[in-house]
Amino acid sequence: MKTYFRLLSFAKPIEKFAIPYFIYTVFSILFNTLNFGLLIPLLSTLFDKDSAHMVVLESPKGYDVLKYFSYYTQQASMHYGIYGALQRVCTILLISVLLSNLFKYLSQKVMEGMRIHTLLNLRKTVFNNVIDLHLGYFSNERKGNIISKISADVMVVQGSVTGTLQVLFKEPLQLVAYLITLFAISAKLTLFSMTVIPLSAFIIARIVKRLKEQATLSQQTYGAMISYLDEALSGIKIIKAFNAESFIKEKFHLENERYSKITRSMAKRQQLASPVSEFLGVSMVAILLLYGGKMVLSGNSDLSAAEFIAYIAIFSQVMRPAKAISDSFSGINQGLAAGERVLELIDTKPAVSDSKHAVELGVFNHQICLKDVSFAYADKKVLNRINLTIPRGKTIALVGPSGGGKSTLMDLLPRFIESQSGKILFDGVPIQDVKVASLRAKMGIVNQESILFNDTIFNNIAFGKPDATEKEVIHAAKIANAHAFIMHADHGYQTNIGDRGVKLSGGQKQRICIARAVLANPPIMLLDEATSALDTESERLVQDALNNLMKNRTSLVIAHRLSTIQNADKIIVLENGEIVEEGTHPELILKDGLYKRLTDMQTFKE
């Protein structure tokens, strides 16, 4: 129940929906019950034709509605005749049905508004929390599983949990209204029928017992299947290049079959609940017909034929809300399973967040200092007691073998990850005491992988500055050596570049990313192997763009091709998470150490 009420909290302000829904539902139930109660005067008017032997009823007192029905039906027959009474009963019945359906429509409209409002708030909260999570979370979690939680699971919650709220309020109230009416007509028959209801509830409970467990497994399997789909679409070129279509198809097919098997088992249980409850309901009606009919036919019952028929009609409706309640219990398990997965995502806290006393980072004036900084992924140490100073306006290059800790060191500066020990200071201020947003606003990042969005070239360049003018965007593109090829595109700056920039070459994508960094105009640049995946011509254009970008800025550069960083103010050589050499290019060549060996290896290859 804790999960259920937490999910309902996303409907706040719930009173905005609950109060009108309560009013409309109560009136709908009252008039719906009245529709069946009016069967008594309707049947009495049709069948009690012999007014000569009619016993004139006295004006009723108290709250017995049935006596009022009988009294006023008889009065109508005496004053207007049988047909006149029938006309009036039919008119009242028609008005009652109209009002019943009107209030039913209004209650459903309110509930639909609540359902959409809940879905909006829930999906917004989930997405906001996902975007705020630290980068390490996405390294450990499958993307398809996250997508499944935000899309499919949230829809299941909306359809079952809020839908169940409607059932659990309306149907019990309707059930109570029917039972009160049944007791008013015949307490003896109603008490007799109540003996069968516990048996029905026990059987339904047994059927839906394992549904929540199966629903949880179903959602997990669906998330895995979406992950396979995402991987297949992202890597379609590699799949075809290695003739791996059959392997990928089989992999997806096995997960699809597993999901289908679980879904089939769940559907079997859910669908079994409905016919079982319906059969039990019809069985109870049949038993009552035999038991009550015998009493009426033998003359041992206080009920008239009209009252008995109306009783059976109302009793047959009792199973409808009872069936809806049993169906909702089978559906709620699936909703709660999905809800727990969604809440798990909402409850995941980012490893990197602002402290209570965090301040805005001011103008960057002096230097960035790393003092005894260490970092490890689980038990694997990646950086060990790093000491490094990055002066303002200087270019520092990081080189070394793969796995040496270069990218990890760079990710520590914008706090994508958090060091386990040591300090990182911006102008003497620890980065933990600075607001993350203001820290990252001081940095521009260009990665080896060009991250672009399925949008226009203009919007991709203006991504970090949505209020940028056309003049500013064009200026940034010119600095990045991108303006010429952009103008040759079909629609210039308004050309859509496709999913992840698929319509552009590698060099073009990288220059768009550089233009984006130029437009943001940060004082610090972080360049992570920005030219490693390019051909010679593209590399030259991109390197020129990077040189333009780094002018008058503090830059930290990870270089794959050592020839691109020979003019750096300082080169840091990392190996196994430690700084083994540092100095300018000429100084490191003279040391005849690791840097010299790496340079010689690249020169030999070229």
The reply to whether 126 falls in a domain is yes
Q: Report whether pLDDT(57) > 60.
A: no
Q: Report whether pLDDT(102) > 90.
A: yes
Q: What is the mean pLDDT of the chain?
A: 77
Of 218 and 415, the structure prediction assigns the larger pLDDT to 415
Average pLDDT (54-62) is 56
Contact between residue 164 and residue 286 where contact means Cβ atoms under 8 Å apart: no
pLDDT of residue 345: 79
Which pLDDT tens digit goes with each residue over 279-303? 776 777 777 777 777 777 776 667 7
The reply to whether 573 falls in a domain is no
Report the C-alpha dihedral over residues 478, 484, 489, 495, rounded to 10 degrees. Answer: 0
CA distance 390 to 370: 9
Within a 10 A sphere around the Cβ of 240, how many other Cβ atoms?
A: 11
Helix ranges, 133-209 (H)? 135-140, 143-148, 154-157, 163-185, 187-194, 197-207
Which pLDDT tens digit goes with each residue over 313-361? 777 777 677 667 666 665 676 677 777 778 887 888 877 777 788 888 8
Can you give the length of the chain in residues?
606
CA max distance for the chain: 130
pLDDT of residue 316: 75
- Give the Cα-Cα-Cα angle 194, 196, 197 (nearest 5 degrees): 70
Closest listed residue to residue 436, CA positions, set 141, 138, 132, 140:
132
Q: Report whether pLDDT(52) > 50.
A: no
Within a 10 A sphere around the Cβ of 284, how many other Cβ atoms?
A: 23
Beta-bridged to residue 374, according to DSSP, are: 421
Residues 6+ apart with CB under 8 A from 15: none
Residues 6+ apart with CB under 8 A from 330: 207, 208, 211, 269, 270, 273
The reply to whether 590 falls in a domain is no
Q: Are strands 421-426 and 367-377 parallel, antiparallel or unpaired?
A: antiparallel
pLDDT of residue 456: 87
Which pLDDT tens digit goes with each residue over 405-458? 888 898 888 888 888 888 888 888 888 888 888 888 888 887 777 778 888 888
3-class SS letters over 420-434 = CEEEEEECCEEHHHE
The reply to whether 268 falls in a domain is yes
Report the share of the chain in percent with pLDDT over 70: 77
The reply to whether 564 falls in a domain is no
Q: Report whether pLDDT(605) > 50.
A: no
Which helix (H) or strand (E) segment holds residue 127: the answer is helix 65-132
DSSP string, 330-369: HHHHHHHHHHHHHHHHHHPPPSS---TT-B------SEEE
Within a 10 A sphere around the Cβ of 308, how many other Cβ atoms?
A: 23
The reply to whether 13 falls in a domain is no
Q: What is the domain range of residue 41?
A: 18-347
CA distance 259 to 264: 9
Burial readout 407-442 (b: 16 or more C-beta within 10 A, e: otherwise): bbbbbbbbbbbbbeebebbbeeeebbebebeebbbb
CA distance 320 to 538: 71
- The total of structural domains in the chain comes to 1
CATH code assigned at 132:
1.20.1560.10
The reply to whether 275 falls in a domain is yes
Q: Report whether pLDDT(459) > 90.
A: no
Report the share of the chain in percent with pLDDT over 90: 1
Contact between residue 455 and residue 534 where contact means Cβ atoms under 8 Å apart: no
Signed CA dihedral, 468, 474, 478, 482: sign only: positive
CA distance 413 to 424: 8
CA distance 361 to 359: 6
Q: How confident is the model at residue 592 (pLDDT cuts 50, 70, 90)?
A: confident
3-class SS letters over 230-260 = HHHHHCHHHHHHCCCHHHHHHHHHHHHHHHH
